[in-house]
Structure 1
Amino acid sequence: MTADANARISPGPSPVAGEICSEAPGRPLIDGAALFRGRTEVAIRFGDSIYRLRITRQGKLILNK
């Protein structure tokens, strides 16, 4: 992520993947379209693990390790 996770970034016409678009009470809100950028799957590194986040045909999200 290019921005500090606690910083607020104003939503723009084309957010960069992973940037915080706005903030919901108590938690950051990340734009899913910017995160996926037209793909149906992305990899997320969390600690020493890699996770797969994918969009199903029904438009739901599934996270797998």
Structure 2
Amino acid sequence: MFKGPLRKEIAVILVIKLLVLLLIKFIWFAQPTVPGLDPQPIVEHVLGSGEKPFEGEPR
């Protein structure tokens, strides 16, 4: 399968990189993250709470 040392080294390096990527995936991305935020303040911030902010006297 491998006819030269360079091909064998490249294949070994690719396998090691694949294993490292899989390890990173399982360590950092194994559990889904669900934010524990209350959606009501976000809705009020994005859509507005119905009150106009006080801007002071016109110039």
TM-score tier, shorter chain, comes to under 0.3
Higher relative contact order (CA 8 A, sep 6+): 1
Compute the TM-score of the two structures, normalised by the length of structure 2.
0.17
Larger CA Rg, structure 1 vs 2:
2
